[in-house]
Amino acid sequence: MKRCAVLISGGGSNMLTLVRDMTGDHPARPVLVLSNNPDAGGLEKAASLGVPTAVVDHRPFGKDREAFENKLNEVLEATKPDIICLAGFMRVLTPVFVNRWSGRILNIHPSLLPKYPGLATHKRAIEAGDTEAGCTVHEVTDVLDGGPVIGQAKVPVLSDDTPESLAARVLTQEHRLYPMVLRRFAAGERAPVVLSMDAESPIN
């Protein structure tokens, strides 16, 4: 059984879908939900599902990313994760951290990578006049939002979309994609998953 730690910074909606899916014949179980933000709403939700939580507040470390990550590693190593899922985790991790966990760390990003690494992905897709957008699960390497893609879900961009309406459509697909990819990754499968909006889901 693989031990999975999930890192969050906010509401943790992706974390919740991962935790809720890790039951029964799923090859992984959640062993820790860790946030850099002591006020992250996801911490309480994780605790209510019986998952141990921890906080490593990045703010006292200021610009000393290495010191922050040393503390992060201390907490992570105590729980011995086989897999680390970044889920709405908003801190850039240094190559030192990434190499320490390389091959065992996943992230979900709200664009069809390699398009739109970084922030404000939905606004950029709309301004570029894209007719398609989506989300990507990738292995985390020392290239920000640049690791091997192991899952993508595509959604249409509608002419009257705002960044908010597109983000909501993409988030619904994130909640389908990430659990599906984690199940396969934990089982040792690496062939990428590509989803388009399921036929019955209304284009909301």
Which residues are catalytic, by number? Answer: 109
Q: How far is the CB of 144 from ligand GRF (least distance, A)?
A: 13
Spell out, one character per residue from 92 to 121, where the chain touches ligand GRF: x when CB under 6 A holds, - when not: ----------------x-x-----------
Cis amide prior to 192 (ω within 30 degrees): no
Q: CA-to-CA distance for 99 and 101, rounded, in angstroms?
A: 5
Decide: is 148 part of the binding site for ligand GRF (CB under 6 A): no
Among the residue ranges 10-18, 62-70, 93-101, 190-198, the one whose residues contact ligand GRF (CB under 6 A): 10-18
Quote the least distance from Cβ 55 to ligand GRF, whole Å.
15
In terms of CB distance, is 13 or 94 closer to ligand GRF?
A: 13
User: Over 36-59, what HEC string results?
Assistant: CCCCCHHHHHHHHCCCCEEECCCH
Number of residues that bind ligand GRF (CB under 6 A): 14
Within positions 24 to 83, which residues make up the interface with ligand GRF, using CB under 6 A? none
If binding is defined by CB under 6 A, does position 174 make contact with ligand GRF?
A: yes
**CB distance 137 to 111 below 8 Å:** no
**Torsions phi, psi for 168 (to 5 deg):** -65, -40
Q: Which of 87, 126, 150, 177 binds ligand GRF (CB under 6 A)?
A: 87
**Site membership for ligand GRF, residue 173 (CB under 6 A):** no
CA distances from 131 to 46, 125, 134 (A): 36, 8, 11
Residue whose CB is less far from ligand GRF, 42 or 81 = 42
Long-range contacts formed by 126-132: CB under 8 A, 24+ apart? 126/157, 126/161, 126/162, 126/163, 126/166, 130/157, 131/156, 131/157, 132/156, 132/157
Residues that bind ligand GRF (CB under 6 A): 8, 10-15, 87-88, 108, 110, 135, 171, 174
